[in-house]
């Protein structure tokens, strides 16, 4: 009448518990997003994202040296350009803000430098591609993405992360890289990126909100899981080295399904809105700080190999160098 199998044996004390710990956050698997702003003189806090800043190029240089010092291994860069136009031409300017930021990071640190590749920060329309008759033209956008990818590679980027959700973007970028001898540049594809309300704070941060309409004709419908897996499968066939699910918290089922289906390195992006929710709840004292550990652990437990999170800096700082 008593339990024969007692699960509580596994939990007796912290020494015993550590024997059975199944998943763990490895600081080197966390990637810190960094905003570099061509219009900024120093640094400015993003109002909806406490403790996250937009940096001028020189403030950025100090910041990434500091990140390296505390043990951060990888950053993902986002640029806010001084000039926007309909085709997002400053996105592939060899002296553009991201190109400069890549060179600065490669010259001053040993960080893995990942660059987000999109157009929404660079177009006057705020869309992730070229608009024709009120609609984003897929294939013309790919031509711009190729120029952008090549300019990132020329600047010395390690990993290119296309986030625009155009069909064929991974193949287009792989081709232009290979043709120019950049066979060793990795592609981290934002494969299943959903049209999500969780990007709100980022769009303030990067000044990249669409000026009309929304992104639903290219980003995914959050009702669809099977379709997300097809997106991931296609990116693998097109030559992606890492595939990503984004956002993270509301999409753990997709991460878990994809990890089981494909033998691929998987990343997940815990986006600005997720950061804002948790950060503000902790700041106001409604939730304890340990919630961050719980949430980051969930991403790894679900099957993610790499996690992009605005908590990366804090987490790594408080858990020491690895
Ligand atoms: C660019 C891009 C976005 C994010 C990453 N890359 C914004 C968007 O798609 O609107 C969002 C990141 C975040 O919310 O933290 N397309």
In tens, the pLDDT along 55-73 reads 999 999 999 999 999 999 9
8 known ligand binder: no
Alpha helices per DSSP H over the chain = 14-19, 57-70, 97-108, 138-155, 169-179, 200-206, 226-238, 252-261, 272-283, 291-302, 312-319
pLDDT over threshold 60, residue 322 = no
Identify the pLDDT of residue 207.
85
**Does a structural domain hold residue 279?**
yes
Strands 112-117 and 74-80: parallel
Atom number of ligand 1 nearest to Cα 200: 14
**Does a structural domain hold residue 11?**
no
Mean pLDDT, all residues of the chain: 96
List CB contacts of 79: < 8 A, sequence separation 6 or more.
Answer: 35, 36, 37, 38, 91, 96, 97, 98, 101, 121, 122
Give the pLDDT mean for 251-264.
Answer: 97
What is the CB < 6 Å shell around ligand 1?
116, 118, 120, 128, 163, 199, 202-203, 208, 271-272
Q: How many CB atoms lie within 10 A of CB 80?
A: 21
The whole-angstrom separation of Cα 142 and Cα 16 is 54
Show the tokens assigned to 174: 């792989």
- Closest to 75 (Cα-Cα) out of 23, 110, 47: 110
- Report cis status (omega within 30 of 0) of the bond before 126: no
Look at the chain and report how many structural domains it folds into.
1
In tens, the pLDDT along 75-123 reads 999 999 999 999 999 999 999 999 999 999 999 999 999 999 999 999 9
Q: What is the three-class DSSP state of 3?
A: coil
- Domain of 82, CATH number, reads 3.20.20.70
Phi first, then psi, for residue 225 (nearest 5°) are -95, -45
For a mutational test of ligand 1's pocket, the pick from 206, 213, 218, 249, i.e. the residue with the most ligand atoms closer than 8 A to its C-beta, is 206
Residue with the nearest Cα to atom 10 of ligand 1? Answer: 199
Does the active-site annotation cover 246?
yes
Residue with the nearest Cα to atom 5 of ligand 1? Answer: 163
**Does a structural domain hold residue 35?**
yes
Identify the pLDDT of residue 321.
57
Identify the pLDDT of residue 56.
98
pLDDT over threshold 60, residue 8 = yes
Identify the pLDDT of residue 205.
86
**Does a structural domain hold residue 2?**
no
- Catalytic residue (choose from 73, 84, 246, 279): 246
Give the chain's count of helices (H) and strands (E): 11, 12
**Does a structural domain hold residue 6?**
no
Cβ pair 130, 144 in contact under 8 A: yes
Region of residue 320 (phi > 0: left; psi between -120 and 50: alpha; otherwise: beta): left
128 known ligand binder: yes
- Catalytic residue (choose from 193, 216, 283, 317): 193
**Does a structural domain hold residue 7?**
no
Distances from the Cα of 41 to the Cαs of 44, 76, 80, 98, 251, in angstroms?
Answer: 9, 21, 13, 16, 37
Burial (0-12, 13-18, 19+ Cβ within 10 Å), 8: exposed
Sign of the torsion angle spanned by Cα atoms 278, 54, 204, 163 = negative
Distance 184 CA to ligand 1 centre (A): 26
Give the pLDDT mean for 34-63.
Answer: 97
For a mutational test of ligand 1's pocket, the pick from 136, 199, 216, i.e. the residue with the most ligand atoms closer than 8 A to its C-beta, is 199
Give the pLDDT mean for 263-273.
Answer: 97
Sign of the torsion angle spanned by Cα atoms 242, 245, 249, 254 = negative
The whole-angstrom separation of Cα 295 and Cα 268 is 12
Does the active-site annotation cover 147?
no
Per DSSP, what are the bridge partners of residue 30?
307
pLDDT over threshold 60, residue 37 = yes
91: containing domain: 26-319
Distance 298 CA to ligand 1 centre (A): 21
In tens, the pLDDT along 125-181 reads 999 999 999 999 999 999 999 999 999 999 999 999 999 999 999 999 999 999 999
Cβ pair 149, 187 in contact under 8 A: no
Radius of gyration of the chain (CA): 20
The better pLDDT of the pair 1, 104 is held by 104
List CB contacts of 96: < 8 A, sequence separation 6 or more.
Answer: 38, 79, 81, 90, 151
The whole-angstrom separation of Cα 153 and Cα 176 is 10
In tens, the pLDDT along 177-195 reads 999 999 999 999 999 999 9
pLDDT over threshold 80, residue 238 = yes
Angle between helix axes 291-302 and 312-319 (nearest 10 degrees) is 100
Q: What is the three-class DSSP state of 190?
A: strand
């Amino acid at each position: 009448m008593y339990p024969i199998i007692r699960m509580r044996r596994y939990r007796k004390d912290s020494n015993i518990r550590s024997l059975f710990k199944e998943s763990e956050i490895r600081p080197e698997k966390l990637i810190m997003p960094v905003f570099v702003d061509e219009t900024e003189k120093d640094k400015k806090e993003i109002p909806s994202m406490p403790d996250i800043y937009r940096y001028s190029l020189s403030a950025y240089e100090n910041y990434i040296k500091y990140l390296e010092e505390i043990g951060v291994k990888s950053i993902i860069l986002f640029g806010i350009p001084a000039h926007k136009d309909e085709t997002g031409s400053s996105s592939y300017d060899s002296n553009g803000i991201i190109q400069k930021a890549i060179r600065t990071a490669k010259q001053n640190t040993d960080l893995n430098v990942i660059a987000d590749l999109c157009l929404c920060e660079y177009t006057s329309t705020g869309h992730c591609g070229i608009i024709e008759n009120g609609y984003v033209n897929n294939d013309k956008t790919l031509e711009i993405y190729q120029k952008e990818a090549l300019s990132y590679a020329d600047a010395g980027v390690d990993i290119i992360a296309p986030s625009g959700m155009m069909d064929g973007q991974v193949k287009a970028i792989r081709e232009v890289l290979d043709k120019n001898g950049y066979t060793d540049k990795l592609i981290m594809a934002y494969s299943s990126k959903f049209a999500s309300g969780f990007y709100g704070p980022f769009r303030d941060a990067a000044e990249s909100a669409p000026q009309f309409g929304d992104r639903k004709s290219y980003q995914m419908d959050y009702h669809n899981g099977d379709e997300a897996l097809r997106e991931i499968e296609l990116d693998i066939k097109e030559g992606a080295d890492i595939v990503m699910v984004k956002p993270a918290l509301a999409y753990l089922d997709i991460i878990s399904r994809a990890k089981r289906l494909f033998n691929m390195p998987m990343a997940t992006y815990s986006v600005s809105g997720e950061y804002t929710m948790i950060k503000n709840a902790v700041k106001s004292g409604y939730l304890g700080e340990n919630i961050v550990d719980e949430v980051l652990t969930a991403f790894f437990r679900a099957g993610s190999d790499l996690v992009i999170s605005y908590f990366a800096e804090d987490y790594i700082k408080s858990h020491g160098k690895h």
